[in-house]
């Protein structure tokens, strides 16, 4: 019990690696720290201390347990099993509870269930690549449709959420199927565990909110490497993401408006919503800092933006969706607003708020899915963090993207 209390305190303090070591010892029948996992070699980051993890949900008010977003999303989505999930089913109840709060951390002898492989039609390819620059390196996958013949195609860059992978994100969003249908290239940069223990994009670090360095430079570098190696229409490059990936997409729109014609933010946060771990949890719970939403966008152009957010999202407050729109529309000319309410046949209701220019073209769209939690609207149960009953966010984002081409490339 003493060891359990220690692990609980470490969890609340964000020291998840140390808490996991204690739990490993308990599950192995000892209160002492177990030896290092032979299949998980120590990294430089491990020696320096636990990596920042933004996949935990803070208590609503004051004291209380931190929980995993998996607990909410599991209601409406089939998840791939996180590392250690099979073992949790046999653990004592108190330890299972704490392991749930640490969802996805490694246990001895456990191997994560592989993410489902998105189907690849004959003639299409789902390639694996690596990109490196002064900021580090990242792997990525690229979907090349079967009709690719060397003529320039639009490119969509998809940024996954915490604990996800390119394969999982592709399966859940069905973006490869739509890319095959509409003849598009789709890239899926992969966050590394060495950069973040839960594979979250580090949207809450100031160094990863700047042009020319950190993760924005890596994502932009991947985009440009694809442009170098494949025929890409430079006027039709877009970036979208979910949760931490949605926040990263907002950062890319802010820092590289000369590269991306439009952006999509699903269940994410505005650029600069947080500057460290404490402010990240605050932003997730109650919205980002006022300074972030008022930060001016690059003056040379307005970046068209489409936002999806569930109004019952308990991981990232729906207020953040409002703030993303406010941030990117701040520099726009006077726009006309039109609000519609509708239902998905047999599914969820939603509100769509569209701001259009003088020609009637949507410049900003904000979709609020009523009753949805922290999950990709209209996604497939083959992937994690999806809400199949909602409007099809993937198809709507592509429709919105194809209405916008960047000029002056």
Calpha distance 24→35 (Å, rounded)? 10
- The better pLDDT of the pair 37, 398 is held by 398
Q: pLDDT tens digits, residue range 39-77?
A: 322 333 333 333 344 444 444 544 444 444 443 443 334
Contacts of 334 (CB under 8 A, 6+ apart): none
Q: pLDDT tens digits, residue range 289-338?
A: 766 555 544 446 899 999 999 999 999 999 999 999 999 987 677 899 99
Query: Confidence band (pLDDT; 50, 70, 90) for 406?
Result: confident
User: Is the dihedral angle over the CA atoms 193, 318, 13, 206 positive or is it negative?
Assistant: positive
Q: pLDDT tens digits, residue range 84-106?
A: 333 333 344 444 444 444 433 33
Closest Cα partner for 34 from 50, 49, 15, 20?
A: 20
Burial of 345 (0-12, 13-18, 19+ CB in 10 A): exposed
DSSP, res 212 = T
At residue 272, what are phi and psi to the nearest 5 degrees? 80, 15
Kindly tell me if the per-residue pLDDT of 366 is higher than 80. Answer: yes
Q: pLDDT tens digits, residue range 171-209?
A: 999 999 999 999 999 999 999 999 999 999 999 999 999
Paired with 239 in beta bridges are 157, 263
Average pLDDT value for residue range 23-34: 45
Kindly tell me if the per-residue pLDDT of 23 is higher than 90. Answer: no
Q: Which domains does the chain have, with CATH numbers?
A: 2-50+81-101 (no CATH), 125-402 (3.40.50.1820)
- Lowest-confidence region among 86-100, 140-154, 375-389: 86-100
pTM above 0.85, yes or no: no
Cα of first residue to Cα of last residue in the chain, in angstroms, is 63
Could you tell me the two tokens for 86? Answer: 């099979």
Paired with 156 in beta bridges are 186, 238
């Amino acid at each position: 019990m003493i060891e359990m209390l220690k692990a609980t305190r470490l969890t609340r303090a964000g020291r998840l690696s140390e808490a996991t070591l204690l739990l490993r010892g308990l599950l192995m029948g000892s209160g002492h720290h177990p030896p290092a996992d032979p299949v998980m070699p120590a990294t430089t980051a491990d020696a320096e201390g636990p990596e920042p993890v933004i996949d935990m949900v803070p208590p609503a008010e004051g004291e209380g347990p931190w929980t995993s977003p998996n607990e909410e999303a599991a209601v409406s989505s089939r998840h791939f099993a996180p590392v250690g999930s099979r073992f949790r089913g046999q653990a004592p109840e108190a330890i299972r509870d704490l392991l749930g709060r640490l969802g996805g951390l490694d246990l001895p002898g456990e191997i994560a269930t592989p993410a489902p492989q998105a189907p690849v039609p004959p003639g299409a390819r789902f390639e694996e690549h690596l990109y490196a620059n002064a900021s580090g390196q990242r792997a990525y996958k690229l979907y090349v449709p079967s009709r690719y013949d060397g003529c320039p195609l639009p490119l969509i860059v998809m940024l996954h959420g915490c604990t996800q992978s390119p394969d999982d994100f592709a399966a859940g969003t069905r973006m490869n199927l739509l890319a095959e249908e509409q003849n598009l290239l789709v890239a899926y940069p992969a966050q590394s565990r060495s950069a973040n223990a839960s594979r979250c994009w580090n949207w809450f670090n100031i160094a990863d909110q700047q042009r020319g360095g950190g993760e924005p430079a890596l994502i932009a570098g991947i985009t440009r490497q694809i442009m170098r190696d494949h025929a890409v229409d430079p006027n039709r490059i877009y970036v979208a993401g979910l949760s931490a990936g949605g926040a990263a997409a907002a950062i890319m729109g802010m820092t590289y408006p000369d590269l991306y014609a439009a952006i999509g933010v699903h269940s994410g946060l505005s650029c600069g919503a947080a500057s460290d771990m404490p402010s990240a949890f605050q932003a997730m719970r109650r919205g980002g800092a006022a300074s972030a939403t008022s930060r001016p966008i690059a003056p040379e152009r307005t970046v068209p933006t489409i936002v999806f957010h569930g109004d019952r999202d308990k991981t990232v407050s729906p207020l953040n969706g409002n703030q993303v729109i406010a941030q990117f529309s701040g520099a726009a000319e006077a726009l006309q607003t039109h609000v519609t309410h509708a239902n998905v046949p047999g599914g969820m209701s939603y509100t769509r708020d569209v701001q259009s220019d003088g020609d009637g073209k949507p410049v900003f769209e904000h979709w609020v899915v009523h009753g949805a939690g922290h999950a990709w609207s209209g996604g497939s149960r083959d992937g994690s963090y999806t809400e199949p009953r909602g409007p099809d966010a993937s198809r709507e984002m592509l429709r919105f993207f194809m209405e916008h081409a960047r000029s002056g490339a």
